[in-house]
Amino acid sequence: MHEYSIVGSLIDRVQQEAVLHGSTRVHRLHVKIGELAGVELDLLKTAFDTFRERTICEGAELAIDSVAAVWACPSCDRVIARGAVLRCDTCGRPARMIHGDEIILERIEMEAPDV
Amino acid sequence: MCETCGCGDPEIVPVEVQERILSDNDAQAAHNRRHFEGLAVLAINLMGSPGAGKTAVLEATARAAGGRLRLGAVSGDLATDRDADRLNAAGIRSTTITTGSACHLDARLVHHTLHHAPCSDCDVFFIENVGNLVCPAIYDLGQAANVVALSVTEGEDKPLKYPVMFQKADLVLLTKVDLIPHLDFDVHAVEDALSRVMPDAKLLKVSAKTGEGIDAWLEWLEAQRPAQRSGSTSLEHHAHSHEHSHEHH
Ligand SMILES: Nc1nc2c(ncn2[C@@H]2O[C@H](COP(=O)(O)OP(=O)(O)OP(=O)(O)O)[C@@H](O)[C@H]2O)c(=O)[nH]1
Ligand SMILES: [Mg+2]
Ligand SMILES: [Zn+2]
Ligand SMILES: [Zn+2]
Ligand SMILES: [Zn+2]
Ligand SMILES: [Zn+2]
């Protein structure tokens, strides 16, 4: 259940950004999670709902952008078909992951401080 | 203005971050890596299911190395010191990181060990991760290589079911191969599964019980070893750029 520790890191990071921008309320977080990141989206949502209470994220929404895994040849850029052997048919080189292991905090929508 | 839900609230501002959520762990892992590289210690993150034979492989490694390599280890264990006791008995200087309910080791826990039970006189330092096929793969510890132990009793389709861990592996040890004659286990099937989740798949067949394959595993370890210690990041004289929650001894 590392989803809980990921949410802990996420909320800490949001707290830092909120302090930096003088905000006291966060409206929504946008995160990007790759298919091969090893993060269960349902568990992540449950963990967020549990942990956000009494933090800067109280009442905030977690918007998750999930990213499919894509592998390609590092030489000829040919994309490997899903489920196929991770080696280029043409060049014989091991494929490289282009997308799919992201665990990224993209953007925070927060209330601007009163000026 | 709130840009996604259209509530039109003018007080809402979007703040771009675009950073890995685990960037703190990444930074700590990079720091650990400098320790290992400075000491010319080969650090191996050994992962696998509970009971895959991780500790047994290390015991067999110590027997086969017979003093040729100086070995050290730390074992992540939910509650006991049993693995560290077994490894110490086998001649591998070991300590335990008790993780409690945590299902994986993280870079901060490993760093703590580095300062309290130094590995500076080791050639190879094994980090035996918590038995778990998912979580440990997510946390970089500062290792030079990831090794996954997969036992023949777990079934050939494990790589397809747990691609995250196998995709991160530099080497897979197929363990307990002495049991193959008693099982319906197809080595080609596991090789095929691996080739679909692990780029440049490498598999070594080993048995801790009979010692089969342990020499090939030792050769692989030798080939990964760094050339010479640079001495630049010895633990004795090193300043941290980050805050510490503990004292250095
Ligand atoms: N037949 C056979 N049994 C083995 C071999 N290696 C390990 N075992 C058995 O498998 C069981 C688990 O071995 P461990 O070495 O404790 O496995 P582990 O991966 O360290 O387990 P955890 O640290 O608890 O996750 C033990 O009962 C071992 O005796 C082997 O090569 N052959
Ligand atoms: Mg063990
Ligand atoms: Zn976990
Ligand atoms: Zn190619
Ligand atoms: Zn809104
Ligand atoms: Zn340090």
Q: Check pLDDT > 50 for residue B213.
A: yes
Model pLDDT for residues B46-55, shown as the tens digit of each residue: 999 999 999 9
Q: How far apart are CA B191 and CA B196, in angstroms?
A: 9
Confidence of residue B117 (pLDDT cuts 50, 70, 90): confident
Query: B21 and A13: CB-CB below 8 Å?
Result: yes
A-B contacts at Cβ under 8 angstroms: 112
Return mean pLDDT, chain B: 89
B134 lies within 8 A of chain A by CB = yes
Q: Check pLDDT > 60 for residue A115.
A: no
Domain ranges of chain A: 2-109
Between the CA of B8 and the centroid of ligand 5 the distance, in Å, is: 6
Q: Please state which of the four CATH numbers 3.40.50.450, 3.20.20.120, 3.30.2320.80, 3.60.70.12 is assigned to the domain occupying A2-109.
A: 3.30.2320.80
Q: Check pLDDT > 70 for residue B3.
A: no
Task: Kindly list the protein residues that place their beta carbon closer than 5 angstroms to ligand 3, a single-atom ion.
Answer: A 2; B 103-104, 135
What local confidence, expressed as pLDDT, does residue B249 receive?
37
Distance of residue B89 Cα from the nearest chain A Cα, in angstroms: 32
Q: Are B199 and B186 in contact (CB under 8 A)?
A: no
B52 Cβ inside 6 Å of ligand 1: yes
**A84-88, A106-110, B57-61, B74-78: least confidently modelled range:** B74-78
Model pLDDT for residues B60-115, shown as the tens digit of each residue: 999 999 889 999 999 998 888 999 999 999 999 999 998 887 789 999 999 999 98
Helix ranges restricted to H, B15-172: 23-39, 54-65, 82-89, 107-116, 158-161, 163-168
What class is the B24-224 domain? Answer: alpha beta
B180 Cβ inside 6 Å of ligand 1: no
Distance of residue B49 Cα from the nearest chain A Cα, in angstroms: 15
Model pLDDT for residues B128-151, shown as the tens digit of each residue: 999 999 989 999 999 999 999 999
B50 Cβ inside 6 Å of ligand 1: yes
Question: B68 to each of A72, A83, B129, how far by Cα in Å?
Answer: 41, 42, 24
Q: How far apart are CA A15 and CA B207, in angstroms?
A: 50
In degrees, rounded to 5, the angle at the alpha carbon of residue B247 between the alpha carbons of residues B246 and B249 is 135
Query: B134 and A9: CB-CB below 8 Å?
Result: no
Model pLDDT for residues A7-42, shown as the tens digit of each residue: 999 999 999 999 999 999 999 999 999 999 999 999
Q: How far apart are CA A72 and CA A76, in angstroms?
A: 8
What local confidence, expressed as pLDDT, does residue B195 receive?
98
Distance of residue A1 Cα from the nearest chain B Cα, in angstroms: 7
What local confidence, expressed as pLDDT, does residue B230 receive?
56
ipTM for the complex shown? 0.92
Between the CA of A72 and the centroid of ligand 4 the distance, in Å, is: 8
Ligand at shortest distance from the CA of B73: 2
Ordered DSSP codes for B150-192: EEGGG-TTHHHH-HHHHHH-SEEEEE-GGGGGGS---HHHHHH
pTM (two decimals): 0.91
Q: What share of chain A is helix, strand, coil (3-state, %, to 5)?
A: 25, 30, 45
What local confidence, expressed as pLDDT, does residue B12 receive?
87
